[in-house]
């Protein structure tokens, strides 16, 4: 699809300005996840899903910059009509975790993009991304005195720079139960279990060090 090719050409340089947790390699992995889910959901609009994957982090509050074009500007540049753009925006709006305050899913395409993105937040790659982001922001690896928060507002979720391990408990370990598609749920199981095993080993090593 020409729109996908044009969009890719625009966004690749933008994402590669971000740290390794949200670079274009992240987009490629989310796209692969989305393609896998799409194979199980033939009724979904492939173009909407692919465009939403390519654009879903462009205006992420953690990286948004006046130096980069907005999602709307990119869609206009590649000649997307208003109807298609509206569907893409709806998908993007439903992706963010926002401290557990994500918007409701309004389409199967939104469910696919959300699950595909969240799959990249868990498992081995999720572990790597968490520490890559934490390192880029100067966060502690862990803080044994830090309290895990729950029932947060979006503002509360974003207001505190917690240690990387705390992020697992406040978000990543919750994602398995928040998957929407059947394929997303299936793929999340093994990745979730891997994280649980990693955290148990990490706790063991931290306890040994403290002792």
Looking up residue 86, the CATH number of its domain turns out to be 1.10.3210.50
- pTM, two decimals, is 0.91
pLDDT at 65: 86
* Dist CA 83 CA 180 (whole Å): 24
Our measurement of the distance from residue 22's CA atom to the centroid of its chain's CA atoms, rounded to an integer in Å, reads 8
* Dist CA 3 CA 77 (whole Å): 10
Range of the domain at 195: 2-210
What number of other Cβ atoms are within 10 A of residue 165's Cβ? 23
Question: How many Å is the maximal CA-CA distance in the chain?
Answer: 62
DSSP secondary structure letter of residue 43: T
pLDDT at 99: 47
Number of domains in the chain: 1
Alpha-carbon torsion (186, 99, 58, 18), positive or negative: negative
What number of other Cβ atoms are within 10 A of residue 93's Cβ? 15
Report residues of the chain scoring pLDDT below 70: 1, 98-103, 152-153, 155-159, 210-211
- Tokens 């793929």 belong to 187
């Amino acid at each position: 699809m020409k729109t996908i090719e044009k969009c890719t050409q625009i966004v690749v340089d933008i994402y590669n300005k971000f740290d390794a947790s949200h670079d274009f390699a992240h987009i490629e992995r989310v796209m692969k996840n989305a393609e896998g889910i799409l194979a199980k959901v033939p009724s979904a609009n492939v173009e909407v899903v692919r465009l939403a994957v390519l654009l879903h982090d462009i205006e992420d509050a953690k990286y948004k910059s006046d130096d980069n074009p907005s999602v709307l500007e990119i869609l206009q540049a590649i000649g997307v009509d208003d109807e298609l753009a509206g569907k893409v925006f709806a998908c993007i709006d439903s992706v963010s975790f926002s401290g557990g305050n994500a918007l409701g899913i309004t389409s199967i395409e939104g469910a696919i993009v959300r699950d595909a993105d969240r799959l990249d937040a868990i498992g081995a790659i999720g572990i790597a991304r968490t520490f890559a982001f934490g390192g880029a922001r100067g966060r502690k690896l862990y803080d044994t005195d830090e309290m895990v928060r729950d029932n947060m507002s979006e503002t509360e979720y974003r207001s505190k720079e917690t240690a990387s391990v705390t992020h697992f408990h406040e978000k990543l370990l919750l994602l398995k139960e928040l998957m929407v598609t059947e394929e997303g749920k299936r793929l999340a199981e093994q990745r979730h279990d891997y994280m649980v095993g990693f955290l148990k080993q990490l706790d063991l090593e931290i306890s040994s060090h403290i002792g």
